[in-house]
Amino acid sequence: MIEEIYIRDIGVIAEARLELRPGLTVLTGETGAGKTMVLSALGLLLGERADTGAIRGGQPQATVEGRWLVTADGALAERLAEAGIELETLASGNSTKQAELIMNRSLSAEGRSRAAVAGRAVPVALLSEVADYLVAVHGQADQQRLRSASAQREALDQFGGPELENVAARYATAFHTWRASASRLEQLRTELEHRLREAEELRATVAELEAAALEPGEDVKLAELTERLTHLEVLQQATTTAHELLSSEGFGEASDATSLIGQARKSLEQVAHFDAALAEQADQLREIGFQLTDVAAQISAYAGDLEGFSPSELQAMHERRALINSLTKKYGKTLDELIDFSTEASNRLLDLDSSTEQIEQLEASVDGQLADATALANELTNLRNAAAVELAAAVSAELSALAMGAASLVIQVTPAAELTSFGGDQIAILLSSYQGAEPRPLGKTASGGELSRIMLALEVVLAKTAQTPTFIFDEIDAGVGGAAAIEIGRRLAKLAQTAQVIVVTHLAQVAAFANHHLNVQKTASATFTASDVQVLTGEARTAELARMLSGLADSASAREHAQELLALAKA
């Protein structure tokens, strides 16, 4: 509930403080006194777009502050907690814990806008989000919006209550899941031709690389081996000579290095007992002899390998190197990169070859998801049809009380051309202006005054399912007078039994039903114009109602009529 609104330097209002209460509050005043500025200030506080033209002339900035009483552990408190804002719980004897919420908005002449919630600076967008939990504002623009299909569907769904809300939420999830899968399927189908071309190219690449049977480091090994075989004769001659010099039986007992080292070792061993140093040197020669024997064996093995090669093998190696060079040049990769690429290409080919299977699986999934969404859409349609009958009857009864007794509301739920995120229905609220008249769309048959009363009738009926604690109506009685105006006042009072209702009105018949009457008064001089908001009670209120009835606050007959209205409202 709104407890207080403080306004400074907005339009003609220099400074005003509106103390609001539960029940029905009306705001009245002469044309141009500033009633609209009060709603403009509230709009700023609720996150509407700022306009520097709203700042009072000559002032550096405009300020508006609002104080609300909210449920301490409700959805709004949870949302604020997510934004890092904690509300302080008030001491209360009620079972429902309550907290005070203070919101501020300022607008400078330079166009800078600042917002705060519970003393903490916040983005203006948060004010708009918070507003959804606090108030429902209805002006003439909202009455026009009632002509739209979306607003009519929202009204019906709200009346349907928690069961319809639950099915609608489940349907929305199923619908978006189906649409996402269907979009993916369409994408796969579009890409299929491209994927088939890519698969064909990759298949040739993989076949070529698999046939080459490349091995890591093979190019380096081939280069070394080719170089060796190219100089085969020279290498054979050198290794044979080296081997014979190291270990050979063809040149006598002391012709090779191994034998000579052996003889030297034996010579030292024979005299080692005379000098220990010679024994150590003999041991070193023994180790050298072992090493020479190993080297000789390695050279012999190397020479043996050379004898196993033929010119045809050298030709094969040249051809193998040419193949590897050709492939690395073709694909612009090194040998190791080419081997990795071959593996990647094979994996990609497997993925591409499975595209058809993926499409078939996704088609089955899409069909199942569509069936689920359709089933929930049908369930939603049944609930809407049931709610439409009840809502139409309830609103028609309210219209009868609002001096539209011959009119009745008809709510049609018809199949849409295709499923949408809101279901498979088209919702249309029709008005039958008199008994037996063909129902016609609101946009074609309802006048501005009738739209005002239909809007009010809907709000009264929907108040039972509404979560919004405060309703604000801006001249909902436009185009209405006489008995219809009295019934609008009566219905607003009825709505105020379950919610806080604030009404800007120019009709005394409506204002008479208020629990709390605020009046915007303008003071003007040659150099200064300002408006103030005053609470009217007793004679002051009677005088204001008289002014609204006749334009003359001191008219005896108007005062008598005003008192009659007050008595009627009280009764």
* pLDDT for residue 177 is more than 50: yes
Distance separating alpha carbons of residues 231 and 185, to the nearest angstrom: 64
Nearest to 184 by CA among 358, 433, 439: 358
Q: Which of 91-95, 218-222, 246-250, 306-310 tops mean pLDDT? A: 218-222
pLDDT exceeds 50 at position 102: yes
Which pLDDT belongs to residue 341? Answer: 83
Least confidently predicted of 134-143, 368-377, 391-400, 537-546: 134-143
What would the mean pLDDT of 522-545 be, rounded to a whole number?
76
How many residues in the chain? 571
- Report how far residue 532's alpha carbon sits from residue 538's, in angstroms, rounded to the nearest whole number: 19
Flag whether pLDDT at 236 surpasses 70.
Answer: no
pLDDT of residue 48: 84
Could you please report the per-residue DSSP string of 379-439? HHHHHHHHHHHHHHHHHHHHHHHTT-TT-EEEEEEEEEEEEETTEEEEEEEEEE-STTPPP
pLDDT tens digit string along 449-484? 677 778 788 878 887 776 678 888 877 777 677 777
Residue type, 115: A
Q: Which residue has the higher pLDDT, 425 or 42?
A: 425
Helix and strand numbers, DSSP H then E, in the chain = 18, 16
pTM to 2 decimal places: 0.61
Report DSSP state, residue 52.
G
Cα 155 to Cα 390, 412, 454, 536, distances in angstroms: 12, 13, 12, 35
The mean pLDDT value for 552-558 works out to 84
Predicted local confidence at residue 251, as pLDDT = 46
Q: What is the mean pLDDT of the chain?
A: 82
Contacts of 298 (CB under 8 A, 6+ apart): none
Euclidean distance between CA atoms 104 and 117, whole angstroms: 7
* Section 58-81 average pLDDT: 87
Task: Render pLDDT for 397-451 as a digit per residue (tens, 0 to 9).
Answer: 888 877 777 888 899 999 999 999 999 999 998 888 877 788 888 767 666 667 7
Tell me the pLDDT band of 169, cut-offs 50, 70 and 90: very high
Percent residues over pLDDT 70 in the chain: 87
- B/e letters for 353-373, b = 16+ CB within 10 Å, e = fewer, are eebeeebeebeebbeebbebb
What are the residues whose beta carbons fall under 8 Å from the beta carbon of 86, sequence distance 6 or more? 80, 118
Distance CA 285, CA 266 (A): 9
- pLDDT attached to residue 23: 92
Contacts by 219-223 with C-beta closer than 8 Å and gap 24+? Answer: 219/321, 219/324, 219/325, 219/328, 219/335, 222/317, 222/320, 222/321, 222/324, 223/321
Instruction: Name the DSSP class of 18.
Output: E
Among 78-92, 106-120, 296-310, name the most confident range.
Answer: 106-120
pLDDT, residue 176, reads 96
pLDDT of res. 314: 67
What pLDDT is attached to residue 386? 95
**Among 397, 461, 458, 406, which Cα is nearest to 432's?**
406
Percent of the chain exceeding pLDDT 90 equals 22
Question: What's the per-residue H, E or C state across 87-138?
Answer: CCEECCCCCCCEEEEEEEEEEECCCCEEEEECCEEECHHHHHHHHHHHEEEE
Residue type at position 124: V
Position 179: which residue type?
R
What is the 3-class SS of 145-198, one letter each residue? Answer: HCCCHHHHHHHHHHHHHHHHHHHHHHHHHHHHHHHHHHHHHHHHHHHHHHHHHH
Helix H or strand E encompassing 281: helix 276-307
Q: Please determine, for residue 526, whether its predicted confidence score (pLDDT) is greater than 50.
A: no
The sign one gets for the Cα dihedral 384, 386, 392, 398 is negative
CA angle, residues 29, 31, 37, in degrees to nearest 5: 75
The neighbouring-strand residues paired with 102 are 67
**Could you tell me the two tokens for 5?**
């609104």
Mean pLDDT, range 487-506, rounded to an integer = 88
Q: What is the pLDDT of residue 340?
A: 83
Q: Would you kindly state where each structural domain of the chain is located, as residue ranges? A: 163-374
Residue 188 main-chain phi, psi, to 5 deg: -65, -40
pLDDT in tens, 108-135: 988 888 999 888 899 888 888 888 888 8
Helix, strand, coil tally for the chain in percent (to 5): 60, 20, 25
Q: Can you tell me which residue has the tokens 């939420």? A: 169
Q: How far apart are CA 64 and CA 15, in angstroms?
A: 10
Which amino acid makes up residue 159? F
Residues 6 or more apart whose Cβ sits within 8 Å of residue 33: 12, 520, 521, 522, 531
* Rounded distance between C-alpha atoms, residue 341 and residue 337, angstroms: 6
Q: Please check the confidence at residue 373 and state whether its pLDDT lies above 90.
A: yes
What average pLDDT score do residues 9-33 get? 84
Higher pLDDT among residues 297 and 95, named by residue = 297
| 13, 56 contact by CB (below 8 A) | yes
Amino acid at 82: E
